[in-house]
Structure 1
Amino acid sequence: MKAAILRTIILASSVAVFAAGCSKVSNMNGMDHSKMSMGSTPTSNSSESATSAKLTTATPVVDGKEFTITAQESNLEVEKGKTIPVWTFNNSVPGPQIRVKVGDTVKVNLKNQLKQPVSIHWHGYPVPNNMDGIPGVTQDAVEPGKTFTYEFKATVPGTYWYHSHQDSVNQVDKGLYGSLVVEDPQDTADRDYTLVLDEWMSSGDMDMDNDGMNMAGHDMSMYDLYTINGKTGDAIDKLTVKEGEKVKLRLINAGYITHRMHLHGHSFKVVASDGQPVNDPAVIKDQFVSIAPGERYDIEFTADHPGNWLLEEHAKDNRAQNMRAMIQYEGSNAKPDPSDAFEELPDFDLEKYGTMSATAFSLDQSFDEDVTMNLNTEMRNGDMVYTINGKVFPDTDTIKVKKGDKVKVTFVNQSRMDDHPMHLHGHFFQVLSKNGKPVQGSPIMKDTLNVKPGETYEVAFEADNPGEWMFHCHDLHHASAGMVTDVMYDDYQNNYTPDPNVNNVPE
């Protein structure tokens, strides 16, 4: 089956009709999800209410240009007999995959049926500033019963995602996210699967308040349920392939924990990071690819080893071992591939992968702005906070730029135990060096970079998208407890005035 036919696949069994208001949908099973009734939330001691409650539907793939996305409550059956309360876009977790082509103008109507205000941020995508979805910064959060329309032009191909940026530590945790794929006209994959990684609390209690997160940065054991596309363990949909096909896997980390993924039985290439292509990617095998919160990696392989093979989290604890998808060859009678999570494997090293080519920036050039971000974990007044240069948001130092400025940022992770996946809104940045050593492989363009304890990175970007942009850690526990700053264009005129009656919570 050719790519033109299969380009709208998320999972083989997950194409469903999009909810009311869409201009065009993939409609394979004829179900009208917009007419499903609202049910009560199940309780832990009531099997009857759990059975009658509204459950999420399969994630649809939408390939039109205008959509309505509705934020609403539902219940997610992560495996048979295990259901947790969730917040959804269009009653699915992940929400609808939006697939568009370069040049398309995307229009999304966000309708809020929740009891709390929400927004949509287009993670990694260089949208105009007023479409960035940051409550109190670029727009008011969309209050219950109201609608807000996002509109932007798809200019850059690749794998991206979207999520609420209103009280995001809680709302993303509860399921308010989906994927955005801008199709590359040069893509020749026969199968194209999107796998959204996440972790949950099996208790269903996903609320994080500051009083309860003093250890959240160090002890993430409260997240005891790992999922791929909202399912765990054997409930995860199989990835069907035919021998000889070229298969693309788009891996998106929507959670707050780094996941080390291992593709069994096949050589593969890492063809993109954060949607941006890798130059001349080499064929590798039996390496695990670490995907930090907010990051995306696209890998490709040729289906040349018939059988049933795992793509799994490479970890020894039980919760992580449930993050596994089976790659199943059509017609194969082979036994399921066993986990090898206890074996030692080398780490995939993006800084030494691919081939160097012409770049926008170099370490020996001059920059208009040269900024250092010392990232740290501190205790203040009995609370754990996450600081940039010793300050917590909103008291962090704004990065002030003018359009056209060349900006270098040095990340220094001074935390003893915490990773900090740093995410810049509205721009891509080039990774120049790690721990003082220049990048040796392909030029690396990203919007989210994981900085581990003791590590130092130098990155650079051009101030080419005027506005007021957030720059923050995408472990949203850390962002909500202070690790946020802004990139502010001196010459940007912001016509937005926050409504004081709206409870805008940008992080």
Structure 2
Amino acid sequence: MKLKFMLLMSFVILILAACSTAQNGDRSESNKKETETTGQANETKGLKTANFETLTGNEFTLVAKEANHQLNKETSVNAWTFNGSVPGSQIRVTEGEQVKITLKNELPDPVSIHWHGIRVPNEMDGIPGVTQNAVQPGESFTYEFTAADPGTYMYHTHQEAVNQLDKGLYGSFIVEPKEKTYDRDYSLMLDEWMSNPEESASSMSGMEHGNMSGMDHSNMSGMDSSGQSSGDSSQNGQAMGHNMANYDIFTINGKSGDLIEPLTVKEGEKVRIRLANIGFLSHKIHLHGHNFKVVAIDGQELNEPQELKDQLIAIAPGERYDIEFTADNPGEWYLECHGDMEGTDGMKAKIQYEGTTESKDQANQNESLSEFSFINYGGAKNGEFKLYQQYDVEYTMDLNTQMDRENMVFTINGKTFPDTESIDVKSSDLVKVKLVNNSKVDVHPMHLHGHFFQVLSKNGEPVQGSPIVKDTINLNPGDEYVVAFKADNPGNWLFHCHDLHHATAGMVNIVKYDGYQPNFTPDPDANNKPE
């Protein structure tokens, strides 16, 4: 049985809706495997892996290949994986390390790897047709960059990613600080799958597809201008009323329900949990039984975070939230998703104190709790940018939808990619972008490649607490955010919705540096599909 969002027919269509709410990986000889046994904690560093291996060192090999993957006790899928697991092998390096990662493609289709949130040179960004040609079956590509910024990041395919990522082609990438302040460290990747993808696919048969595949990209420097049509890429399901309830298995690190490994802690430890959303639905996470702090968002540390209790952390596609708590309440507690979708109950992990089996907790995914907001959280501190300072470039993104014949498309300033107007910058420019979600029902998590931006305001309200530095900003209908960044990484960089169904159907822009020329030659036979 194929997996959650399976391309068993050329016409699978899906649209994002908000979440209501082994191993055997080939590695270079210089890789060090942090844990060998599934679910075994490393007591020295406090690391724990679930069903994937953790690689340390600075040279790695990731093999894209098919493998059977068990989601829960009832459902297994034929996944596309990095190194044979979902998520793929976790990569852990120390800030400032030079890393070299070789992708080997053993899949039947071309692939690539994008280093989500990591500031890499443009030619290492992994975008087929924009920064490289897609890696063909049987071929390899080597990525080299410096892991300069400590934090929680991800890697995933960016070749026809709306389908390939949904099949399992992703993993976590952790850049550890030189001096750690926590004792135990867990990385949890949140995702959704379908238990009956064949039924969903058949219900979608005959529908047309979206904008990214088969477009003439000749007006973009470095894009594949072959104009080939794949006929299998994309997603205008909103117009057709696609039911996101087809996603009925929610996973943590590729597992759901009883297959999710407990998060083991010792009394007195400071525990960091890195929550990363690689899926297409937003997820609201509740930590039971403990006060906690939100210490980092999108990998960037917050200033003087305050303690919280019983607040939901809403994590949109592409976002990462790091929380920390002191293990001061022995027993068994839940970390769970809140909402009423069928899969919600499966996204639940136990926090289990060593030496105790006493359970003080009961899951309650429908409990009414307030949601965390970063707008006035943490200690006030001057950030790099101010809302009303002088900027070299100011740009407004009107995010919306419209009908194109019988299909729904997702637009930026009334246009779909590649006809969207680029954000043209020069090196060292200070850039301010206003993002406005004028869609009636759609949520748009907008992700900028190659840069971090500072969030200056939401709906006209300036950020008052800690400076908030991100690479993905989630806009609910009616939301307006103002963000700013410095143009300090030359290249052609995507700025797109990380609901990849929306991106595939047009919601993509490009930050273009004046005078930049890609250092690869687009191959018309590479079948480059940047989304």
- Give CA deviations for 1:164-208 in whole Å, capped at 9, x if unaligned: 000010011111000110001232211100000000111245977
Which consecutive aligned stretches of 4+ in structure 1 deviate over 6 angstroms post-superposition?
Answer: none
Q: 1: CA distance between counterparts of 2:297 and 2:235?
A: 35
* TM alignment of 1:61-460, pairs within 5 A: 61-204=54-197, 209-210=233-234, 213-215=237-239, 219-335=243-359, 337-460=361-484
SS in 1 for 2:478: coil
SS in 2 for 1:477: helix
- Tell me the number of residue pairs that the alignment of Structure 1 and Structure 2 aligns: 468
Q: 2: CA distance between counterparts of 1:350 and 1:186?
A: 25
TM-superposed deviation, 1:496: 1.7
Q: 2: CA distance between counterparts of 1:320 and 1:248?
A: 23
Q: 2: CA distance between counterparts of 1:378 and 1:145?
A: 40
Q: 1: CA distance between counterparts of 2:467 and 2:37?
A: 45
Q: 2: CA distance between counterparts of 1:23 and 1:367?
A: 45
Tell me which residue corresponds to 1:48: none
TM-superposed deviation, 1:337: 2.3
Tell me which residue corresponds to 2:515: 491
TM-superposed deviation, 1:361: 0.8
Q: 1: CA distance between counterparts of 2:520 and 2:468?
A: 34
**Matched residue type, 2:72:** E
Q: 1:487 to 1:21 in 2, by over 3 A?
A: same
Tell me which residue corresponds to 1:8: none
8 Å contact 1:217–1:477 — kept in the other structure?
no
TM-superposed deviation, 1:450: 0.1
Tell me which residue corresponds to 2:526: 502
**Matched residue type, 1:109:** T
**Matched residue type, 1:26:** K
Q: 2: CA distance between counterparts of 1:344 and 1:450?
A: 22
TM-superposed deviation, 1:316: 2.7
Q: 1:326 to 1:364 in 2, by over 3 A?
A: same
- Give CA deviations for 1:422-449 in whole Å, capped at 9, x if unaligned: 0000000000000011011110000000
Tell me which residue corresponds to 2:497: 473
Q: 1:29 to 1:332 in 2, by over 3 A?
A: same
Q: 1:232 to 1:124 in 2, by over 3 A?
A: same
Q: 2: CA distance between counterparts of 1:442 and 1:142?
A: 41
- Give CA deviations for 1:318-346 in whole Å, capped at 9, x if unaligned: 31111000000111121362112222111
TM-superposed deviation, 1:215: 4.7
Q: 1:217 to 1:437 in 2, by over 3 A?
A: farther
**Matched residue type, 2:367:** E
**Matched residue type, 2:479:** E
TM-superposed deviation, 1:494: 2.1
- Give CA deviations for 1:457-479 in whole Å, capped at 9, x if unaligned: 00000000000000000000000
Identity percentage over the alignment? 57
**Matched residue type, 2:172:** S
Q: 1:25 to 1:18 in 2, by over 3 A?
A: farther
Q: Is structure 2 residue 18 aligned with structure 1 residue 23?
A: no
8 Å contact 1:17–1:26 — kept in the other structure?
no
Q: 2: CA distance between counterparts of 1:211 and 1:480?
A: 6
8 Å contact 2:36–2:53 — kept in the other structure?
no
Tell me which residue corresponds to 2:43: none
Tell me which residue corresponds to 2:229: none
SS in 2 for 1:478: helix
Q: 2: CA distance between counterparts of 1:217 and 1:357?
A: 45
Q: 2: CA distance between counterparts of 1:235 and 1:225?
A: 12
**Matched residue type, 2:54:** V
* Residue segments in structure 1 that go unaligned for 5+ positions in a row: 1-14, 32-56
- Give CA deviations for 1:263-292 in whole Å, capped at 9, x if unaligned: 000000000000001100000000000000
8 Å contact 1:22–1:68 — kept in the other structure?
no
TM-score, length of structure 1 as denominator length? 0.89
Q: 2: CA distance between counterparts of 1:377 and 1:219?
A: 18
TM-score, length of structure 2 as denominator length? 0.85
SS in 1 for 2:451: coil
**Matched residue type, 1:439:** V
